[in-house]
Structure 1
């Protein structure tokens, strides 16, 4: 099989703040920005990797989600326990230095006992972003 990861979805509760975080802070390019019924879906991705994208979506957009589920999702987002993504960089220290002034730091660069050196921050919606160092 020849399978790749094309896109992943992360919720947002403020499209402009998410756009500023992913575009301006992380340096991702905007691939799509679509509005519908007062909601926005923003697709971003790393420059030079057109086949891999993150779709930032409004969590209330799924018609199959009940009001109770929407409330739970919103509460989990606020606590930072709803969504996680792991990114990677060859220079973790420089990346962390750039992020720490504008992102909520969860963990500074750390050598993990399972063999990975990484750090963690939260995006404006509370999504946990772990960043691994490529060795």
Structure 2
């Protein structure tokens, strides 16, 4: 049996992302390691305090030789549109969480709305990654 340990999001600036995820979303740093032997590659992960076994890798978009200029531009284009990945967050009270995060400066693209499966809202991080914040109705799972 295996477990999911990390999910990756591309970010434009790791320091800006780190500030957003820890300062606004309340996540904690799991790892922040720079490897000089790999051209100062930075492995940066964060996660919710209530789930120490889960981490989100905040990965800088690499250039050559990993991604050529055209591919890097495509990744950046998808990020700008909010289509480079989505993280789904669950909460017991979507409206209260929406108010708390909004007060911290998180800009929502969709306010909490009643849906078949629960109450749902959407926001994006500074790099354009899309998040769904959902209060799931009983019987619909997470």
Q: State the TM-score bracket (shorter-chain normalisation).
A: 0.7 to 0.9
Give the conservation status (yes or no) of the 8 Å contact 1:41–1:58: no
Aligned length: 133
Normalised to the residue count of structure 1, the TM-score between the two structures is 0.86
Change (3 A) 1:119 1:61: same
Could you say what secondary structure the match of 1:90 adopts? Answer: coil
Taking the aligned partners of 2:112 and 2:40, their CA distance within structure 1 comes to 38
Aligned to 1:6: 5
Give the conservation status (yes or no) of the 8 Å contact 2:90–2:133: yes
Runs of 5+ consecutive residues of structure 2 not aligned to the other structure: 138-142
1:110 aligns with 2:110: no
Give the conservation status (yes or no) of the 8 Å contact 1:82–1:127: yes
Give the conservation status (yes or no) of the 8 Å contact 1:88–1:134: yes
Normalised to the residue count of structure 2, the TM-score between the two structures is 0.82
Aligned to 1:126: 128
1:84 deviates by: 1.0
Taking the aligned partners of 1:129 and 1:88, their CA distance within structure 2 comes to 10
Pick the structure with greater CA Rg. Answer: 2
